[in-house]
Structure 1
Amino acid sequence: MSVRRLRGSGGGRRRMAMGSALGILLLVGGLVGCGGGSGQDSGSSAQASTPLTPNASSFSGTPPSALASAASSAISSARAAASAAASSASARASEFEASVDAETQRRSTTAQKALKDVQGRGNALSDVAMTGMPKAQTGGVLAVLVKITNTTDSEASYAVQIDFKNASGKVVETRYVGAEHLKPGEKKQPIAFSHQPPEPKLTPVLAKAQRY
C-alpha cells in the first residue's frame, strides 16, 4: 500500500515536471515568434526611413557616353573661354603699349616744334631737372628721367631738349620730351631714351627748356 503510493506519487511528479517543461517551451516559442515579428517590422521601418547611399568604391569603368560627352564639351568651352580672355588681355596690352609709344612720339614732335625758334637755352631751365636711370632697369639702354615742375601760378606747357654728347663734347644725338597743360605746382616725369649703342659712352645734357 505504501509502495504503490510512493510509485504513484513519483509518476505524478514526473508528469508534472514534463508538463511544466512543455509549458516553458511553448512560452519561449511564443516569445521568440513575437520577437521575430517585431524585429521584421522595425527593420522594414528602418529601411523605409533611411535613404540608401551608394558606395562610390563599388563603381568602376567610365561614365555613360552621354555624360562623358557633356563633360568633354564643358571642358572644351572653358578652355576656349580662357584662351579668348588671354588673347583679349594680350591685345589690350599691345594696344596700350602702342598708344603710349604714339603719345610719347606726339609729345616729342610737339616739343621739337615749340623749341624750333627758341633763342638761347629757353626760359624754363630752372623748372627742369634730370636723373640718370640704372641700365639694369632699362635693359642696358642709356636713359634719363626728366623731371618737369610748373613753378608758376598759372597753367603752362613745357618743351625740353636733351643732347647726348660723346667724350669729345660732340652732340651725337638729340631727343625731345615735353609736358602739356601742367597746373601750378604739377609735375611730370617723361623719359628720354638714347637710340645709340652703349659704346662709346655718351653723356646726357639739358640743352634747352621752354615754357609756353
Structure 2
Amino acid sequence: MPRTLRSATLALCALTSALALAACSTESGSDADASVTPRATAPDASNFTGEPPSALASSAASKKAEVKKSASAAAESASQRAHDFEASVSADVERNRQEFTKALDAADGQGNAMKDVSMTGKPLSQTDGVRALVVTITNSTDATASYAVQVDFSDSDGKVVETTVVGAKDLKPGEKAQPLAISTQPPEPHLTAKIAKAQRY
C-alpha cells in the first residue's frame, strides 16, 4: 500500500475511534442523568377515599342533628302513647262504671252480695289528703262472677253528699279484688262512708 494511502487510512481510523468514544461518553451521561431523583409531583386527588376535615366536621354535625331530632321524635311518640293509654284506661273505667251502675240499678234492696264485701279506710296522711277506702270483694260462690258495689259518703247529719261505684269483673271462685272508693270531697268536714249496695251478677 502506498505510504500516502496508509497515512490516510490511519487518520480515518483515529477519527472513527474518537467519534465512538464521544458517543459512549454521551450514552454514559444519559445513564448518569437517569439516576437523578425526579421532581416530586402533586398527588392525584382521585386516589383519596377519605374526606377532608371540613367535610368530616360537617358530617358529624349533621349526624348529631339527626340523633337529636330522632330523640325528640321518640320522646314525642312516648308522650303520645302515654296519652293514648291514659285515654284508653279512662274509657275502660267509664265503661266499667256504667256496667256496675246498671247492675246496681237492677238489684233488689241492698243487693245479693253484701256478705261478700267489706271496706277499710286509708289514713289521709297516706293519700295526700284524699279520702280513699279499700273495698274488698271476695267471690264466695263456686262459679265465676262479677260484682258491683255502691259506697255512700254522708255528713254528720247523715245526709248522703256523694256516691261512688266500684266493682270487679269475672272473679273466679274464692278470688279477691280490692278496688278503691275515692271521694272528691275535701277532707274537712268529716264524712262517713258505708257500703250501700253490693250486687253479684
Which letter maps to 1:129?
A: S
Aligned match of 1:100: 89
| Contact 1:129–1:146 (CA under 8 A) maintained in structure 2 | yes
* C-alpha distance in structure 2 between counterparts of 1:206 and 1:135, whole Å: 20
Aligned to 2:60: 71
The aligned residue for residue 148 of structure 2 is 159
Distance 2:178 2:75 in 1: 32
Q: Is the 8 A contact 1:110 1:178 kept in 2?
A: no
- Aligned CA RMSD, in angstroms, stands at 1.8
Q: How does 1:17-166 map to 2 (within 5 A)?
A: 64-166=53-155
Shift of 1:104: 1.6
Q: Which amino acid aligns with 1:77?
A: E
* CA offset digits 1:118-168 (Å, max 9, x no partner): 222111112112222333443422111222121111011111000011112
Aligned-partner Cα distance in 2 for 1:111–1:73? 57
Listed as ranges, the gaps of 5+ residues in structure 1 are: 1-62
How far apart are the structure 2 equivalents of 1:118 and 1:148? 17
- Asked if the contact 1:159/1:211 (under 8 Å) is kept, the reply is yes
Q: Tell me, yes or no, if structure 1 residue 203 matches structure 2 residue 192.
A: yes
How far is the alpha carbon of 1:81 from its aligned partner?
1.5
> CA 1:196–1:100 in structure 2 vs 1: closer, same or farther (change >3 Å)?
same
Q: What secondary structure sits across from 1:119 in the alignment?
A: coil
TM-score, normalisation: structure 2: 0.68
Return closer, same or farther for 1:95/1:137 CA change in 2, 3 Å cut-off: farther
Bigger shift: residues 72-81 or 91-100? 91-100
Which amino acid counterpart does residue 67 of structure 2 have in structure 1?
A
- Judged with a 3 Å threshold, the aligned counterparts in structure 2 of structure 1 residues 171 and 136 are, in CA distance, closer, same or farther, namely same
| One-letter amino acid matched to 1:156 | A
Gaps of 5+ in 2: 1-51
Distance 1:199 1:76, change over 3 A: same
Q: Which runs of 4+ in 1 moved over 6 A?
A: none
- Higher helix fraction (1 or 2): 1
Q: What's the CA shift string for 1:159-188, capped at 9, x where partnerless? A: 100001111211111111121221112222
